[in-house]
Amino acid sequence: MYGNRQSTQISLALLIAFTITVGMLVLALILIGQSFRGMETAKVSAASATAKQLAISVDDRIHAITAPPSTALAVLSHDPLALSRTYQQRLQRLGMLADILRSSDIVSAVYVGWGNGDFFLLRKIRSSGTLQFPDAPSPARYLLQSVTRSQAGIDGEWTFYDEQLNPISRLQKPDYQFDPRQRPWFIAATPSNKTELSDPYVFFTTHETGLTLSHRSAAGGPGAPTAVFGIDVTVSDLSQQLSKLRQTPGTRIAIVNDEGTLLAHSEVAKKLDAPIATALDGRGETVGDTAVTHFNAQEREWYGFSEPLKALSKENLRIAVAIPADELLADVWDALARQTVIAGGVALLLLVIGWFLGRRVGRPLEKLTDQVSQLSRFRFDTAVRSDSHIREARQLSVALDDMATTIHSFQNIASVLNRGQDLNRLLHDILEQIVQILGQKRGGIYLFDRQERRLNLAVDTHSALPRGLDDLDPGLDDNDLIHHLRHHIGGHPVFAILRNRQKKLIGVLVIEMEHGEHTHLSDDLIVFVDEIAGSAAVAIETRELIESQQALLEGIIRLVANAIDAKSPYTGGHCERVPKLAQMILDQAEAITHGPFASFSMTDEERYEFHLAAWLHDCGKITSPEYVVDKAVKLETLYNRIHEIRTRFEVLYRDAEIEYLQAVAAGEDEPAARQRRDRRRDQLMADFTFLAYANKGGEFMSDADRERVESIGRQTWTRHFSDRLGLSSDEYQRLKEVPEPDLPAAEPLLADRPEHIHPWGEHRPPVERDDPRNRWGFDMQLPDYAYNLGEIHNLTVAKGTLTDEERFKINEHIVQTICMLDALPLPDRLANVPRLAGTHHERMDGEGYPCRLKGEEMGIPERIMAVADVFEALTAVDRPYKDGKTLTESLTIMARMVDDGHIDRDVFELFLTSGVYRHYAEQHLRPEQRDQVNESLFMNRD
């Protein structure tokens, strides 16, 4: 009887619950204790270590600031400059003073004062990062200030020097009567034999606050006046040095003297702020046995301390430091991380103990563990069974077996939903997986067309389902909709209604139940199918959204490109032709298996990125003024201003007639008067004809022609009407500073007037390399003005029709392209679109724009874009300033561009040998442009 009794089963759940509970309690106690002690230790140690380290660092920094000037003063004290008596003798030592200024960024001025009141000072024009003399000449780097006293009086003089100490300009300063003998630095150093440091004071000339190190000259002689050398160090320089010592971004450091005067502040403050003042006073709660105090100020918690500085000890300087508590205690998180490691070790120990106890409790669990390990290796088709005396183990094996089957099904579905990139392929995979899970063979998925109110069969597997279902009301609930579908679909179908996140109908899943016991589905299986259908609906909706968004993006890009082409009748089709040509070259580069492109390949994402960049390569032209892009003659703005000039000639032509009639009426000889009139008219006709021809532009304009334009422009005509009437506000502002002459007024026939100048103002583009707004690496020469509409300025353009200002405005389109695309929230897979679109005007030799990139800095796609853009521009027939060139002419020019380092040789030769230029010509060039090309003329030109 006892032999047949089943052994007592132990509740594994109770054992595991007890063990884990006790273990977690122990772990929690350890973590709490360790975290508390670690946090307290971190607070005290961090504050104490900071106090000592900062004091030492600041001492070292002050010593580093004062030691070099002190050394320089010690050397200066023996310089013969102290014995010089005349201004010319002192100038001979100017180079030595400049060397001292160059050797240290913190020294702003070096000078010497004599006991007779003479003064000789050399200072930097730019000190502490600030231009101290805005009126100084642009190349000036140094200012020499001198005061020379003689029996004739006081001679004050300022002289500006460039970097090589060449004099630029000299200013007599009769009001500059500076007397060094009355300055504290002179008074302090005169009786002393060592370097003296002054209290902070305001410098006489620059009005900066700073310190002066002074030293009496060691050189002397009979009758020689006392000489004192001085070096100025600004407080702002010391403040900048302090800012580098901040331990955290919010740390505030200040240096004060024994009178409480602020010497320097890491925030360049003008007075003591609340945290620094509190730290100086030592107010707050003392932390441990350290000198650190904890206090509240400005609605934040701070740790503060102050320490005397050993440097400049006689000045009784103190350093005060205030650090935000939240920043100082950042290292506490390191302590917490260490505690986490400890907790992990404890948890691992608990797991080992639990595993040991589990083996002791029930050996049968080993078999179950082996089977479960198959699941851990994603083998969900493995049966999980265990005949164990432990009730929970037996039940767990059954549950795990069911779970493996379910996970395997979900795994297949999830894989389908996640990897689907194409909507049609996604629908096929979803249907195939669901049909397989249910053990059936036939089914289909309908997608709902909202406009036609119709269900269209998108995919099916061996089904006889109708191709479409008309007159469907999308407002029906799922039950009514299924009831409606059963009237149109026979057999034993199972329906799952596909709805999106907004519960709107997007389609129907239909499975024909023909095999096995699934003909009568259980409620659980129906729920499973509905849940899978819900996930499939979301995946379908997501894929539809992605495809629609991609189509929308493509549409917007083409819309922008077409808008740019439509903006100018002379560049129509450029933004469409360049992407096609660039794609043709790119396909050849990927297809070739030898030469420099043998290893070149692109992913689908990179190819799409290139496609978008090609379409957007000129999107910045949307900001380019039409009259600049389409400028066909030199005087063209919004209209051709040759008409204004012709009107002035008409006035002069009529004036010649009037002068003739007046002369005859006054009794002058009529033939002589008529001859003079005719000569004047002929000259006017010839001059206007010349100007009209010059207005058309060309490849070259001689100096003689430019001089003739200026000579014609110096002729005058009489204006009787005010030129201030009927103006726009912008025109009036440009004339505001120009006095209006009395009428009638004689004016030149051609002129460059002030109102013709359009300054940049607030719209100065950030294209210069040193512009702080330039974060794109642009390196372009910026004209002085945005526009210069001067008539002579435009008519004397040497080549073509564009002025320098207008050519920059055209070139700026690539800057705008990069800025516009960089401002878009592009995903990571499209991050290179701005660069690919913005480098087609760069050159292989680094002389392109806007960033002056060299060939090695550009990839193959960027070089391809440049070649495509050049070839399209050469062959285009819709430009106002040129005719479309033939293939031979275009390739000859491009070959020269290769030799000149403009475009890439490898891409150009691929363009030739692959025949891309011919295929493009057949599609886009006129028959007369498609001449026979001898490709060998353009190959191997090295």
C-alpha to C-alpha distance for 801 and 254, rounded to whole angstroms: 62
Q: What is the pLDDT of residue 506?
A: 76
Q: Is it true that 420-549 and 572-617+828-938 share their CATH fold?
A: no
Q: Which of 224-238, 307-321, 336-350, 656-670 has the highest mean pLDDT?
A: 656-670
C-alpha to C-alpha distance for 784 and 773, rounded to whole angstroms: 18
Q: What is the pLDDT of residue 291?
A: 73
Estimate the crossing angle of helix 670-695 against helix 642-665, to 10 degrees. Answer: 180
Torsions phi, psi for 294 (to 5 deg): -115, 125
Q: What is the mean pLDDT of residues 762-783?
A: 89
Residue 198 has pLDDT above 80, yes or no: no
Q: What is the pLDDT of residue 300?
A: 83
Map residue 197 onto helix, strand or coil.
strand
C-alpha to C-alpha distance for 270 and 202, rounded to whole angstroms: 13
pLDDT, tens digit, 9 for 90 and up, residues 248-278: 777 888 777 776 677 777 676 656 777 777 8
Residue 292 identity: V
Map residue 254 onto helix, strand or coil.
strand
- The CATH class given to the 572-617+828-938 domain equals mainly alpha
Residue 1 has pLDDT above 90, yes or no: no
- How many other C-beta atoms are found inside a 10 Å radius of the C-beta of residue 920? 21
Let me know if domain 7-361 sits in CATH 3.30.450.20.
Answer: yes
Q: What is the mean pLDDT of residues 126-147?
A: 82
Closest Cα to residue 388, out of 12, 753, 920?
Answer: 12
Q: What is the pLDDT of residue 409?
A: 61
How large is the C-alpha radius of gyration of the chain?
A: 44
C-alpha to C-alpha distance for 818 and 822, rounded to whole angstroms: 6
pLDDT, tens digit, 9 for 90 and up, residues 85-132: 888 888 888 888 888 888 877 788 999 999 888 899 989 888 766 677
Residue 535 identity: S
C-alpha to C-alpha distance for 109 and 93, rounded to whole angstroms: 15
pLDDT, tens digit, 9 for 90 and up, residues 517-573: 544 556 666 676 777 777 777 777 776 677 677 777 777 777 776 676 666 655 557
Enumerate the domain spans of the chain.
7-361, 366-410, 420-549, 572-617+828-938, 642-751
Please state, rounded to an integer, the average pLDDT across all residues of the chain: 79
Map residue 312 onto helix, strand or coil.
coil
CA 362 to chain centre: 65
Residue 327 has pLDDT above 80, yes or no: no
Map residue 94 onto helix, strand or coil.
helix
Q: Which fold has domain 420-549?
A: Beta-Lactamase (3.30.450)
Q: What is the mean pLDDT of residues 439-454?
A: 80
**Residue whose pair of structure tokens reads 């060299």 in the numeric block:** 854
Residue 172 has pLDDT above 70, yes or no: yes
Estimate the crossing angle of helix 94-103 against helix 12-76, to 10 degrees. Answer: 170
C-alpha to C-alpha distance for 767 and 912, rounded to whole angstroms: 35
C-alpha to C-alpha distance for 738 and 731, rounded to whole angstroms: 12
Contacts 24+ apart (CB under 8 A), 91-96: 94/122, 94/144, 94/161, 94/165, 95/165
pTM: 0.51
Q: What is the mean pLDDT of residues 437-466?
A: 79
Q: What is the mean pLDDT of residues 834-840?
A: 88
Parallel/antiparallel/unpaired status of strands 442-449 and 505-512: antiparallel
462 pLDDT tier (thresholds 50, 70, 90): confident
Q: What is the pLDDT of residue 919?
A: 92
294 pLDDT tier (thresholds 50, 70, 90): confident
Q: Around 16, how many Cα atoms within 13 Å sit in the side-chain half-sphere?
A: 11
C-alpha to C-alpha distance for 398 and 391, rounded to whole angstroms: 11
C-alpha to C-alpha distance for 650 and 924, rounded to whole angstroms: 46
Q: What is the pLDDT of residue 714?
A: 92
Q: What is the pLDDT of residue 518?
A: 45
Q: What is the pLDDT of residue 557?
A: 73
Is the Cβ–Cβ distance between 791 and 643 less than 8 Å? no
Q: What is the pLDDT of residue 638?
A: 80
Vertex 298 angle, CA 293 and 303, to 5°: 20
* DSSP, residue by residue, 617-631: TTGGGGGS-HHHHT-
Q: Which two tokens stand for residue 576?
A: 């469409």
pLDDT, tens digit, 9 for 90 and up, residues 328-369: 766 666 666 666 666 666 656 665 665 565 555 555 656 666
Q: What is the pLDDT of residue 715?
A: 92
Q: What is the mean pLDDT of residues 475-484?
A: 81
Q: What is the pLDDT of residue 334?
A: 65
The continuous run of DSSP H or E covering 746 comes out as strand 745-748
Is the Cβ–Cβ distance between 264 and 239 less than 8 Å? yes
Q: What is the pLDDT of residue 476?
A: 81
- How many other C-beta atoms are found inside a 10 Å radius of the C-beta of residue 660? 20
- Percentage of the chain beyond pLDDT 70 is 74
Q: What is the mean pLDDT of residues 203-228?
A: 75
- Percentage of the chain beyond pLDDT 90 is 13
Q: Does 871 or 411 have the greater pLDDT score?
A: 871
Q: Does 493 or 394 have the greater pLDDT score?
A: 493
Q: What is the pLDDT of residue 3?
A: 45
Map residue 232 onto helix, strand or coil.
strand
Secondary structure letter of residue 331 according to DSSP: G
Cis amide prior to 744 (ω within 30 degrees)? yes
pLDDT, tens digit, 9 for 90 and up, residues 869-912: 999 888 887 665 567 788 888 899 898 999 999 999 999 999 99
pLDDT, tens digit, 9 for 90 and up, residues 631-678: 888 788 888 888 989 999 999 999 999 999 999 999 899 999 999 999
Give the residue ranges of DSSP H helices in 362-422. Answer: 365-376, 391-419
Residue 433 has pLDDT above 50, yes or no: yes
- For the purposes of burial, counting CB atoms within 10 Å of the CB of 470, is it exposed (0-12), middle (13-18) or buried (19 or more)? exposed
